[in-house]
Amino acid sequence: TGGATATLLAAWLLSKNTIKPINELVEATKSLELPETKGLNPSYYPIEIRPLVSALNLMHRRFYEQLNSMNDFTQNIAHEVRNPLNIMIGEAELCLSKTRTEQEYRETIESFLEESRELAYLADRLLFLARAENKKEPLNSEQFNISSLLELLVEFYLPLAEEKNITLEASK
């Protein structure tokens, strides 16, 4: 039994020394801060776990890049939503500030409708992006008549183009 005890003690000491750098790596990984850190120094760790350290550094960098990308995207979306809402709020406040003619009310409602459509279009684009990034849900493709779409776009942008002396037309 003395030999078995010595073997168990040696195995325990060996495993303790083997596990120590892994435990240090776990603690160092927990303390990584974004964005200040550049990652962990692989040369600090035994050669056997350096590939793991490098993989953790790569994962850390990718996560940080994705987080930055998400933050930028969120800020852009906030601006895209805020502009139509601010227009709607401003027009509503102006409209309610005094009694208006029926035509003025109609123009305000038409502007609300236009801004609401812009917000609905933005929501549709966001849903499309969410579906496109969701690998589990396949995108459905369908055929459509592009000339009809172009005619609608010309019709939509024609007043703005005319204001700026730009000619727009769609031909078949």
Confidence of residue 11 (pLDDT cuts 50, 70, 90): low
Q: Give the list of residues 6+ apart from residue 41 with CB closer than 8 angstroms, or none.
A: 53
pTM of this prediction?
0.50
With a cut of 70, say whether residue 172 has pLDDT above it: no
CA distance 5 to 1: 6
| 3 state SS of 37 | coil
CA distance 144 to 141: 10
With a cut of 80, say whether residue 170 has pLDDT above it: no
pLDDT one-digit tens code per residue, 77-117:
888 888 888 888 898 898 889 898 889 888 888 888 888 88
Confidence of residue 57 (pLDDT cuts 50, 70, 90): confident
Q: Which amino acid is at 157?
A: Y
DSSP assignment, residue 138? P
Distances (CA, A) of 9 to 2, 6, 13, 17: 10, 5, 6, 12
pLDDT number for residue 31: 76
C-alpha closest to that of 84 among 124, 44, 125, 113: 113
DSSP assignment, residue 162? H
